[in-house]
């Protein structure tokens, strides 16, 4: 039985245009762009990423989806908002709530006064990483507009990370390569990011307009990074953005030692060095297998929880449907086997009735039939007893929710009770946070903290055990 996936949709929004990209899958299973639509925006409808009229914006989305035959309702979106924050941070060993407060204080230094942020973060190395934030008013307006359009907004990203995803999906960034790559995005300002193994480890925004001055600032920025990271050389620079500036900057930066290339989202060379189209492709790829080792979603936490619950519900419905189909198929197969068997023994049965002298043979056939049925029953019992739990996905969920102050010592299967997780932590709060995060997994049913105690002679280290029931 073939189960088809919905094609993914990416919606990139600037003050001037909406770029909508739909990706699908070829017969060989590779990802391809099915549709790419650019729609001009009425003046003033969107200002610095903020949708001013949700109803008017929703009408444009509905009409565009209808006219271009885009039937999928699930979308990932980003806006071209100059106030978006991508800032380095130290990840202190703090309980989850205190860590959020620390991040909020850091973000308030860069977010416009009076704007409440929606935040997320990723790590570049132990204890270090980046905070990503966007104004909550921008996200709320985007949610309102997509809801009115009858769409389901499942992810909000930022432009640099969306473009990075597009360049990493069959493009000219290899997430497994340990050499650092420079990604330069030429827009209203110029964003310079250093990428290592698919992770942005450094970023800076430059505002110089003169191309030579901009090239000098880029060169100084990259020289500074190399000085701060001895042994790491920047061997390739990828440029995307405003066509004229990108081409001029490409010429200025080419010095023989550093290869300068045009960014190739999904391995394609775009007609223009366009940011919005590349970002739209990266947004559509959010629903594909992620080549990046981190994921950012700037939807409010309550919205993310709702999406996860809906996904869990539909997965359960799908599993129940699949079991029903398998049961029906097995019934049909057994019925055909029974008919074939009865047809096969019919001549023997007639011969037994007409010839009394072969009753012993008939009895032997009956014994063979009984033995065959018993073997079939034992086989069905064996098949039903096989553990078909998706262990790779379950173990991946155990791993990806581990907080920074927690490490595991044992993960084992407990027949009849699910999964047993044992480990150590620097604080009880980190353990409680881990239990709450496991509860978001689609595979676990009501994780329970069964044991938590401070180790003797090892002050500050706590042992714990968590039992996670598996969703059926």
Rounded CA-CA distance 200/253 in Å is 21
- Which pLDDT does position 81 carry in this prediction? 79
- Which pLDDT does position 84 carry in this prediction? 82
Q: How far is CA 205 from CA 109, 173, 191, in A?
A: 16, 21, 4
- Which pLDDT does position 3 carry in this prediction? 38
- Beta carbons of 294 and 199 less than 8 angstroms apart: yes
- Which pLDDT does position 64 carry in this prediction? 94
- Beta carbons of 94 and 425 less than 8 angstroms apart: no
Indicate the CATH number for domain 172-263. Answer: 3.30.420.40
- Which pLDDT does position 380 carry in this prediction? 57
Rounded CA-CA distance 467/448 in Å is 5
Rounded CA-CA distance 383/377 in Å is 10
- Which pLDDT does position 255 carry in this prediction? 67
pLDDT in tens, the chain (472 residues): 333 456 679 999 988 899 999 988 776 667 888 888 999 989 999 998 899 999 999 999 999 999 999 888 899 999 987 778 887 777 666 676 777 777 777 777 777 666 788 878 777 777 777 888 888 889 999 999 999 999 999 999 988 888 888 888 877 787 777 778 888 887 778 888 888 888 888 888 888 778 888 888 888 888 888 888 887 878 788 888 766 777 788 877 776 566 888 888 887 766 655 788 888 888 888 877 666 667 788 888 888 888 778 778 877 887 888 888 888 888 788 888 878 877 877 777 666 556 655 666 667 777 877 876 777 666 554 445 445 568 888 889 888 889 888 999 999 887 666 899 999 998 999 999 999 999 988 888 889 999 998 887 767 889 999 999 888 7
Buried b or exposed e, range 246-274, using 16+ CB within 10 angstroms: bebbbebbeeeeeebeebbbbeeeeeebb
Residue ranges covered by each domain of the chain: 1-162+271-299, 172-263, 310-385, 391-470
- Which pLDDT does position 416 carry in this prediction? 65
- Beta carbons of 205 and 260 less than 8 angstroms apart: no
Q: What are phi and psi of 115, to 5 degrees?
A: -95, 125
Rounded CA-CA distance 106/355 in Å is 97
- Beta carbons of 200 and 193 less than 8 angstroms apart: yes
Q: How far is CA 372 from CA 338, 349, 365, 413, in A?
A: 12, 18, 10, 34
- Which pLDDT does position 7 carry in this prediction? 66
- Which pLDDT does position 385 carry in this prediction? 43
Rounded CA-CA distance 172/262 in Å is 9
Q: Do domains 1-162+271-299 and 391-470 have the same CATH topology?
A: no
- Which pLDDT does position 390 carry in this prediction? 81
Q: Does domain 391-470 have CATH number 3.40.718.10?
A: no
- Beta carbons of 433 and 467 less than 8 angstroms apart: no
The topology under which CATH files domain 1-162+271-299 is: Nucleotidyltransferase; domain 5 (3.30.420)
């Amino acid at each position: 039985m073939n189960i088809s996936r919905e094609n993914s949709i990416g919606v990139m929004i600037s003050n001037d245009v909406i770029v909508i990209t739909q990706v699908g899958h070829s017969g060989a299973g590779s990802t391809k762009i099915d549709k790419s639509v650019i729609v001009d925006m009425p003046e003033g409808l969107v200002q610095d990423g903020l949708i001013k009229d949700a109803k008017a914006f929703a009408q444009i989305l509905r009409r565009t989806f209808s006219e271009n035959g885009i039937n999928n309702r699930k979308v990932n979106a980003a806006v071209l908002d100059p106030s978006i924050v991508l800032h380095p941070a130290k990840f202190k060993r703090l309980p989850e709530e205190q860590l959020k407060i620390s991040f909020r204080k850091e973000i308030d230094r860069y977010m416009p006064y009076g704007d409440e942020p929606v935040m997320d973060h990723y790590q570049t190395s132990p204890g270090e990483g980046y905070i990503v934030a966007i104004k909550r008013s921008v996200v709320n307006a985007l949610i309102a507009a997509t809801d009115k359009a009858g769409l389901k907004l499942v992810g909000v990203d930022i432009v640099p990370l969306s473009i990075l995803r597009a360049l990493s999906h069959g493009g000219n960034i290899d997430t497994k390569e340990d050499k650092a790559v420079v990604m330069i995005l030429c827009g209203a300002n110029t964003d310079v990011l250093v990428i290592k193994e698919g992770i942005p480890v450094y970023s800076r925004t430059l505002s110089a307009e003169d191309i030579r001055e901009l090239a000098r600032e880029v060169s100084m920025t990259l020289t500074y990074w190399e000085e701060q990271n001895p042994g790491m050389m920047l061997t390739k620079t990828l440029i995307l953005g405003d066509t004229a500036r990108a081409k001029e900057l490409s010429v200025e930066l080419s010095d023989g030692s550093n290869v300068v290339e045009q960014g190739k989202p999904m391995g394609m060379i775009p007609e223009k060095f366009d940011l919005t189209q590349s970002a739209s492709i990266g947004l559509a790829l959010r629903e594909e297998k992620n080549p990046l080792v981190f994921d950012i979603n700037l939807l409010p936490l309550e919205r993310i929880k709702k999406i996860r619950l809906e996904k869990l519900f539909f997965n359960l419905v799908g599993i129940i449907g699949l079991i029903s189909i398998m049961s029906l198929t097995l019934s049909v197969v057994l019925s055909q086997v029974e008919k074939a068997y009865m047809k096969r023994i019919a001549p023997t049965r007639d011969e037994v009735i007409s010839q009394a002298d072969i009753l012993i043979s008939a009895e032997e056939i009956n014994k063979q039939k009984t033995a065959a049925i018993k073997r079939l029953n034992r086989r069905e019992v064996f098949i039903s007893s096989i553990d078909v739990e998706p262990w790779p996905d379950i173990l991946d969920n155990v791993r990806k929710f581990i907080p920074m102050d927690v490490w595991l010592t044992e993960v084992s299967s407990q027949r009849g009770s699910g999964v047993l997780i044992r480990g150590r932590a620097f604080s009880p709060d980190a353990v409680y946070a881990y239990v709450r995060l496991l509860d978001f997994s689609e595979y676990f049913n009501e994780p329970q903290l069964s044991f938590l105690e401070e180790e003797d002679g090892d002050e500050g280290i706590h042992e714990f055990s968590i039992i996670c029931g598996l969703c059926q």
